[in-house]
Amino acid sequence: MPCKKCKDENYKYGNTGECKYATKEACEKANPKKYNKMQPTPLGKKSYEEYAKELKEFNLSKVERVELANIKELDKFVKALSTAVKQIKSNRSKLGKSLSDIQAQRKEVEKQYNTAVENKKAVDLAVKNSETLSKQIVKQAKELGISPSEIPNVRELVDLIEQAEGAQETIDMFMNDAKAIINVAALK
């Protein structure tokens, strides 16, 4: 490579050298012209000649281009997998929401179950007390020689007891279903 003049009137060797020589002669003297005969530093323990020999043996001109015969199959697979990933992400979102909704409904069923248990206890106690009171009223009515049905609210009390017992049958069925939903076998 020849020495070249820089914009600052100095000289550099080649296109990428530093502009550090004051004269062209100094540049040429510092950079020998026999670069075509210089050998690169060998890598590892092999000499330059050994690398050159291996390069000839390898013969880069015989390297063949490898083509993927199944590139169309790969494209189809990537497209199908991409679609499947989109679908599973969508399903994950919907399933997560559904599970969250079910969990909220389960909590509501549990709350209503607990309320029903308390109401059932209260109704059972009221029916028991009503039956005891009814027996006392019937006894007193007979002692007075009057019909128990003539006493105000007796008929209404009998109707309410019948309604409570009918509602209890339904609520017992619902409570059994609720137990299964909230998975609490010990609740009664």
Taking only the tens of pLDDT, the chain with its 188 residues reads 688 999 999 998 888 888 999 998 898 888 876 544 445 554 556 666 776 777 666 655 554 544 555 677 788 888 899 999 999 998 988 888 988 888 888 888 889 888 988 988 988 888 888 888 888 888 988 888 888 888 888 888 888 888 888 888 888 888 888 888 877 544 44
- What confidence score (pLDDT) does residue 22 get? 92
Q: Are residues 35 and 109 in the same domain?
A: no
- What confidence score (pLDDT) does residue 36 get? 44
72 occurs within a structural domain: no
Cα 185 from Cα 163, distance rounded (Å): 28
111 occurs within a structural domain: yes
Q: What is the pTM of this model?
A: 0.45
Q: Are residues 38 and 108 in the same domain?
A: no
81 occurs within a structural domain: no
Q: Are residues 37 and 112 in the same domain?
A: no
Rounded to 5 degrees, φ, ψ at 159 are: -60, -45
180 occurs within a structural domain: yes
166 occurs within a structural domain: yes
- What confidence score (pLDDT) does residue 10 get? 93
- What confidence score (pLDDT) does residue 68 get? 55
For 24, the token pair is: 């062209």
Sequence-distant contacts of 121-127: CB under 8 A, at least 24 apart: 123/164, 123/167, 123/168, 124/168, 126/164, 127/161, 127/164, 127/165
Please give the tally of structural domains in the chain.
2
CB atoms under 10 Å from CB of 123, counted, come to 20
- What confidence score (pLDDT) does residue 127 get? 85
Mention every residue, 6+ apart, whose C-beta is less than 8 A from residue 111.
none
85 occurs within a structural domain: no
Rounded to 5 degrees, φ, ψ at 146 are: -120, 160
Instruction: State the residue range of the domain holding 17.
Output: 1-43
Q: What CA–CA distances, in Å, run from 28 to 3, 91, 159?
A: 6, 75, 125
- What confidence score (pLDDT) does residue 39 get? 54
124 occurs within a structural domain: yes
- What confidence score (pLDDT) does residue 185 get? 41
37 occurs within a structural domain: yes
Rounded to 5 degrees, φ, ψ at 108 are: -65, -40
- Cβ pair 15, 9 in contact under 8 A: no
- What confidence score (pLDDT) does residue 69 get? 56
- What confidence score (pLDDT) does residue 15 get? 84
Q: Are residues 39 and 111 in the same domain?
A: no
